[in-house]
Copies of this chain bind each other. A is one copy, B any other.
Amino acid sequence: MARAATTTDAFNAVAEPRRREILDALAGGELAVGDLTELLGLAQPQVSKHLRVLREVGLVDVRDDGRRRLYRVNGAPLRAVHAWVAQYERLWNERFDLVDDVLDELTHAAAESAAEAETEAETGRGD
């Protein structure tokens, strides 16, 4: 078996530097293939191919404008990536250690007074 297809998910699609550049460029607003070709200094076919991948994983949307095709970012698929990476944020962010300390103290204090200290975490909005 070879490596998973780049179109498998956002993780794979975004692993390619060029595709990240494209998204970054599109972050400023809609752009046509030609604009990207110029901005990235890459050949048009390659840009189109990268856009195809990004499109297949839903990272960009297209809109026809005469003989041009305007691409636009759609960050939704990145949500999964963000969610996964965020779990590790505590491993490099000092502030999390501080939060841990506080939570630790609270936990101890709660356990001390009674035995029913359950805090329900609120879920973010679904989609």
Contacts and interface: CB of A to CB of B under 8 A. Distances in A.
A81 interface: yes
B82 A23 contact: no
Copies in the complex: 2
A66 interface: no
Interface residues of A, number: 33
Interface of A: 3-4, 6, 11-12, 14-17, 20, 23-24, 27, 73-76, 78-79, 81-82, 84-92, 94, 125, 127
B17 A4 contact: yes
Contact of A16 (B4, B89, B91): B4
A11 B73 CA distance: 19
Contacts of A74: 91
B27 A87 contact: yes
